[in-house]
A and B are shown apart, each in its own frame.
Chain A
Amino acid sequence: MTLTDFTPFASLSGGALIGLSAVLLMGLLGRIAGISGIAVRLLPPYLDADTRGRMAFILGLIAAPSVWLLTTGAWPQVTLEASAPLLLVAGLLVGFGSVWGAGCTSGHGVCGLSRLSARSFVAVGTFMATAFLTVLLVRHVF
């Protein structure tokens, strides 16, 4: 494992930018900023006509590190120590679970909690619990 520093001010600032993006997406496009919901609708079956807009949002996400590189001179830190099979399994679980549960850390976490949605409080409590338990087992038991 790689140790990281507690960054309260950077994390509050970054969180505020995420919130700003969510508020603007609602005010301008009328949409929830849920990344799993946006991503899954990039793929068929297409049930509405907003696929291009969703693609643009995801491309913006993907472009963020390059813009960061151009403005700061360095790539953002991305520590990935998992093996290929583990990445594959984790990716499948994250993708399946987020769509089966109708949201992830952004849709249920940021947007759902802000709307005081009972479903989102249950979802966030549940994924936090299994994520805490998974890290406990992986790091301290096995």
Chain B
Amino acid sequence: MPILVQFLLGLLFGTGLIVAGMSDPAKVLNFLDLAAIPSGTWDPSLAFVLLAATAVTFVGYRLVLRRPRPVFDTQFHLPHKTRIEAPVIVGPAIFGIGWGLVGLCPGPAFTALGTGRPEAFLFVTAMLLGMVAARLLALRAIGGSAQRA
């Protein structure tokens, strides 16, 4: 049952990306192109996606986190780190460069993969390699006792 639920939630997330237009890297790049504002070709859609998604999540989290535990687990798995350390600046800085080069972040990379495009396959393969590299480096740095991301 939880497995089916997680499949359906992935499907809902992906459908949200498609409805929002975020499955198209062109829309993402046209948002990131601030220099296009004067010429009128800037596409602010991504800001509206983030606004609606965070608004729903902000309210929804407050409702569900009031419950003693999630329906299919014994506890909520919330990030426990609060300190602002170098990785939380260095990592996103690197991520942003890759995102700006092609217009794909991890969610839309998987929906793009679902259209069967070979370019998406290449991107996702490289992305997974980069992810494993970062995780192995991070695990080595902290003695393999904790996990990140």
Contacts and interface: CB of A to CB of B under 8 A. Distances in A.
Contacts of A76: 18, 23-24, 111, 115
**Which of A17, A30, A60, A61 gathers the greatest number of chain B CB atoms within 10 Å?**
A61
Contacts of B100: 130-135, 138
Interface residues on chain A, size class: 35 or more
Contacts, number: 515
Interface string B11-36: 11111111111111111011011110
A129 to B, nearest CB: 7
Give the secondary structure class of B's interface. helix
Contact of B18 (A27, A68, A93, A117): A68
Contact of A16 (B16, B83, B132): B16
A91 B111 contact: no
Interface residues of B, number: 118
Contacts of A95: 98, 106, 126-134
Given A7-B45, A34-B149, A117-B79, A135 B33 contact: yes
Contacts of A6: 43-45
**Which of B7, B13, B114 gathers the greatest number of chain A CB atoms within 10 Å?**
B13
Contacts of A96: 91, 94-95, 130-131, 133-134
B121 to A, nearest CB: 9
Contacts of B69: 30
Nearest to B49: A15
Interface of A: 1-8, 10-37, 39-41, 43, 45, 47, 52-54, 56-68, 75-82, 84, 86-115, 117-119, 122-124, 126-136, 138-140
